[in-house]
């Protein structure tokens, strides 16, 4: 049984605030730290709208969206903002940049994104490797090639129950 959406989002928000607090403590830039953390750990989920609109077009159905039916309909997993690569790039920028504002923003974004991806791995019970954008692109975003066989079987059973075939 999956975690209710409000709990899932609450966990993301709390972890985002933690990331922001850590960056704030280190770089003493509260607004940038909290803004970057909310963007990287909470608003990152806006990429689910991209998947939804690729599946259903502009015909928005709130129930379909919160249930994640876009993945059932297309058997694809785009979620373009969910990527370990971004964490690595942000950490590299953190090492290169000299400006405290930029460092605060990069650290907050990197930490929040990292916390978000780790929590998604545990809450959604998916493999950590499925959150590499490059890997998903190499597999043509085909869900069957990205997730574990067990996850794929659950997906198919749910899809049949919803009748998107």
pLDDT of 39 higher than 70 = yes
Phi, psi of 76 (to 5 degrees): -125, 155
d(CA 37, CA 156): 35
DSSP H or E stretch at residue 85: helix 84-96
**Per-residue DSSP letter, 2:** P
Residue 29's pLDDT band (boundaries 50, 70, 90)?
A: very high
Q: How confident is the model at residue 164 (pLDDT cuts 50, 70, 90)?
A: low
| Domain encompassing residue 154 | 5-162
Number of domains comprising the chain: 1
Which of 126, 138, 162 is closest to 2 using CA atoms? 126
Query: Which position has the token pair 């929040």?
Result: 112
Integer distance in angstroms from the first to the last C-alpha of the chain?
23
Q: Does the pLDDT of residue 1 top 70, yes or no? A: no
55 neighbors 73 (Cβ within 8 angstroms): yes
pLDDT-based confidence at 57, cuts 50/70/90?
very high
Q: How many CA atoms lie within 13 A of 28 on its CB side?
A: 1
Give me the mean pLDDT over the 124-134 stretch: 93
Average pLDDT of 113-117? 98
């Amino acid at each position: 049984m999956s975690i209710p959406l409000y709990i899932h989002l609450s966990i993301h928000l709390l972890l985002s605030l933690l990331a922001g607090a850590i960056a704030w403590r280190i770089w003493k830039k509260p607004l940038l730290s909290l803004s970057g953390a909310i963007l990287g750990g909470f608003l990152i989920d806006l990429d689910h709208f991209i998947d939804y609109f690729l599946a259903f077009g502009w015909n928005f159905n709130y129930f379909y969206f919160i249930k994640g039916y876009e993945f059932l309909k297309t058997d694809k997993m785009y979620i373009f903002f969910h990527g370990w690569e971004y964490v690595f790039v942000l950490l590299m920028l953190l090492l290169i940049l000299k400006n405290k504002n930029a460092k605060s923003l990069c650290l907050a974004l990197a930490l929040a994104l990292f916390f978000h991806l780790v929590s998604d791995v545990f809450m959604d019970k998916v493999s950590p490797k499925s959150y590499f954008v490059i890997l998903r692109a190499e597999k043509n975003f085909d869900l069957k090639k990205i997730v574990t066989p067990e996850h794929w079987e659950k997906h198919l059973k749910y899809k049949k129950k919803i009748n998107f075939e």
